[in-house]
């Protein structure tokens, strides 16, 4: 395959004259990759467990299409792709177990299909190892079966970059152009701004090589995926620029923020590090992350020496572009933000590790291979330890919301109803109520509007222990619930009022 990846990128004679490798076309060559994808699905179900309730962001996305609770406030940065992805289950069933099983199976299938896009660019053993490296991370296992968009942006990034490379060869151009558009659409569907960052190197390369077909497929895919988000910007948020500005404000203001150490802190299992303080995780947890830049450089050096730079340099460039805003432009961290970068890095890093294992003289190769296997085993053990602990903490938080919702039901706060205050959004989802906030990133109403609503329907306000309730709730009865005070009123009348107008509503 020497020189073939560069030929695929540029469409030169060597790519057209060289037949595909037998290993890439042999159906049996894909079996190890399929086995890793199946193991990934099974590991999610066994270690994260499908019975774990829905998290805060998941409640927002699922409520948009489900019948369990009224649609929660949908803030400016969010996109509706994940809501549509879960709709086949959430639209008719409130079972979290069923939803988790559906997403676990879908995420395993997506891992297999996304890496199959790279067949012919890397040998099957590289694809298999790349899948194993990506699937071994606790953040991949944790978010694969969750109703969250980041994993799906990662899969879209793999399809997009792999298809871009394959589209340079006439023999695979038609199918690859379709894959290029589909991958870009998936990313735009899930997180439009992440999609833009991922494809920046592809757009720059398209301008350099003046390849209108690939540029057109890429831009068409992005436009198709982001169309709903852009239209909604004008319908609900006062225009595209206003939505971008509001999204930036919700994220703390995009600008120069050195969040590298914040991301490092989040690797210990902090699903949201905001504010991000405290000790760094131990070296067994963070070693792989610190070694990634070195492994990327090593992969590029091996690729240059082998004369197949393109298939390595392009995913590295797109990974760096995808990671840049979350390392340098945002003032907090969440490990899921970097999933697209990890997915794109997995292929060149896997190729470099296999090359490293075969580089020493023959007598030393078993020693080097054994050392690499031992390092991977230690890494896997550390990742699974973090995964189990993180899943337990998340499940405990979800059970707390569920118990608070049960308390609301015992007090007569049942649908149609309204919940405000601390953790109002997830508690309302579990209780089948609407939620509202007068401040913060989910602010969508006023205190006067809540007071008027409380005179018509059951309403509850969750207040941290020791804090004062808002003025409209001071005369309400309260009970202690999960380290909070729960102020409530059973309400009178029937029906639920329309949510107050948002900026840009028609």
- Show the tokens assigned to 447: 């205190």
Distance CA 246, CA 264 (A): 27
Q: How far apart are CA 211 and CA 209, in angstroms?
A: 6
Give per-residue pLDDT as tens, 91-126.
999 999 999 999 999 999 999 999 999 999 999 999
What local confidence, expressed as pLDDT, does residue 412 receive? 93
What 3-state class would DSSP assign to 49? coil
Instruction: Please state which of the ranges 219-228, 259-268, 324-333, 486-495 shows the lowest mean pLDDT.
Output: 486-495
Q: Smallest Cα–Cα separation from 448: which of 500, 505, 502?
A: 500
Q: What is the mean pLDDT of the chain?
A: 89
Give the separation between CA 506 and CA 504, rounded to whole angstroms.
Answer: 6
pLDDT-above-70 percentage for the chain: 91
Averaged pLDDT, 247-276: 89
Q: Which residue has the higher pLDDT, 339 or 481?
A: 339
Is 90 exceeded by the pLDDT of residue 501? no
pLDDT digits (tens, 9 = 90+) for 394-449: 999 999 999 999 999 999 999 999 999 999 999 999 999 999 999 888 888 999 99
Regarding predicted confidence, which is higher, 365 or 477?
477
pLDDT digits (tens, 9 = 90+) for 131-170: 999 999 999 999 999 999 999 999 999 999 999 999 877 7
More confident residue, 28 or 223: 223
pLDDT digits (tens, 9 = 90+) for 231-244: 999 999 999 999 99
Give 499's pLDDT tier (boundaries 50, 70, 90).
Answer: very low
Give the Cα separation of 427 and 484 in Å (integer).
12
For residue 127, what pLDDT band results from cuts at 50, 70 and 90? very high
pLDDT higher than 70, residue 55:
yes
pLDDT at 315: 97
Average pLDDT over residues 14-35: 64
| Residue 308 · residue 4 · CB < 8 Å | yes
CA separation for the pair 308, 41 (Å, rounded):
33
All residues at 6 or more sequence positions from 89 whose CB lies less than 8 Å from its CB, including other chains: 95, 98, 99, 102
Calpha distance 73→250 (Å, rounded): 13
Q: How confident is the model at residue 25 (pLDDT cuts 50, 70, 90)?
A: low
Q: What is the pLDDT of residue 491?
A: 55
The neighbour count for residue 393, using CB atoms within 10 Å, is 13
Residue 12 has pLDDT above 90, yes or no: no
The predicted pLDDT at position 148 comes to 97
- Mean predicted confidence (pLDDT) in 298-319: 92
What is residue 306's predicted lDDT score, i.e. its pLDDT? 84
Both tokens of 485, joined, read 């005070």
Contacts (Cβ under 8 Å, ≥6 apart) of 484: 404, 421, 422, 462, 463, 464, 465
Q: Count CB atoms within 10 A of the CB of residue 306.
A: 15
Helices (H) and strands (E) in the chain, counts: 21, 5
């Amino acid at each position: 395959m020497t020189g073939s990846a560069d030929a695929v990128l540029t469409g030169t004679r060597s790519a057209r004259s060289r037949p595909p490798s037998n290993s890439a076309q042999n159906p049996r060559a894909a079996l190890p990759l399929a086995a890793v994808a199946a193991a990934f699905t099974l590991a999610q179900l066994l270690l994260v467990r499908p019975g774990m309730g829905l998290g805060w962001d998941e409640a927002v996305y699922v409520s948009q299409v489900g019948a369990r609770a009224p649609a929660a406030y949908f803030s400016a940065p969010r996109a509706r792709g994940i809501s549509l992805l879960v709709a086949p289950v959430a639209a008719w069933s409130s079972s979290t177990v069923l939803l988790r099983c559906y997403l676990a199976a879908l995420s395993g299938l997506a891992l297999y299909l996304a890496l199959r896009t790279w067949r012919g660019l890397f040998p099957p053993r590289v694809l298999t190892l790349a899948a194993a490296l990506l699937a071994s991370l606790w953040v991949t296992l944790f978010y694969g079966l969750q109703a969250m968009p980041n994993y799906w942006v990662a899969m879209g990034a793999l399809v997009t970059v792999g298809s871009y490379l394959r589209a340079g060869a006439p023999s695979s151009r038609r199918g690859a152009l379709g894959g290029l558009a589909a991958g870009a659409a998936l990313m735009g569907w899930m997180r439009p701004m992440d999609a833009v960052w991922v494809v920046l190197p592809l757009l720059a390369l398209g301008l350099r090589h003046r390849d209108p077909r690939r540029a057109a497929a890429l831009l068409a895919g992005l436009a198709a995926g982001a169309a709903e988000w852009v239209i909604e910007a004008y319908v609900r948020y006062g225009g595209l620029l206003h939505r971008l500005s509001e999204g930036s404000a919700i994220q703390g203001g995009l600008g120069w923020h050195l969040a590298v150490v914040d991301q490092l802190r989040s690797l210990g299992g902090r699903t949201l590090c905001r504010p991000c303080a405290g000790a760094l995780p131990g070296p067994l947890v963070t070693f792989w992350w610190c070694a990634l830049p070195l492994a990327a450089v090593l992969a590029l050096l091996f690729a240059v020496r082998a004369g197949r730079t393109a298939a390595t340099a392009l995913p590295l460039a797109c990974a760096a572009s995808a990671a840049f805003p979350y390392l340098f432009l945002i003032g907090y961290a969440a490990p899921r933000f970097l999933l697209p970068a990890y997915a794109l890095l997995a292929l060149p890093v896997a190729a470099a590790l296999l090359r490293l294992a075969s580089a020493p003289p023959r007598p030393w190769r078993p020693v080097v291979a054994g050392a690499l296997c031992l390092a991977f085993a230690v890494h896997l053990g550390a990742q699974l330890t973090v995964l189990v602990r993180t899943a337990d903490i998340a499940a405990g938080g979800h059970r707390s919301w569920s118990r608070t919702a049960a308390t609301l039901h015992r007090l007569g706060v049942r649908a149609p109803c309204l919940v405000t205050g601390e953790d109002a959004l997830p508690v309302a989802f579990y209780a089948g109520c609407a939620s509202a906030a007068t401040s913060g990133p989910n602010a969508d109403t006023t205190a006067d509007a809540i007071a008027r609503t409380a005179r018509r329907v059951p309403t509850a306000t969750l207040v941290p222990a020791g804090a004062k309730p808002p003025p409209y709730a001071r005369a309400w009865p309260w009970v202690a619930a999960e380290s909070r005070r729960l102020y409530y009123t059973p309400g009178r009348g029937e029906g639920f009022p329309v949510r107050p107008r948002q900026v840009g509503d028609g």
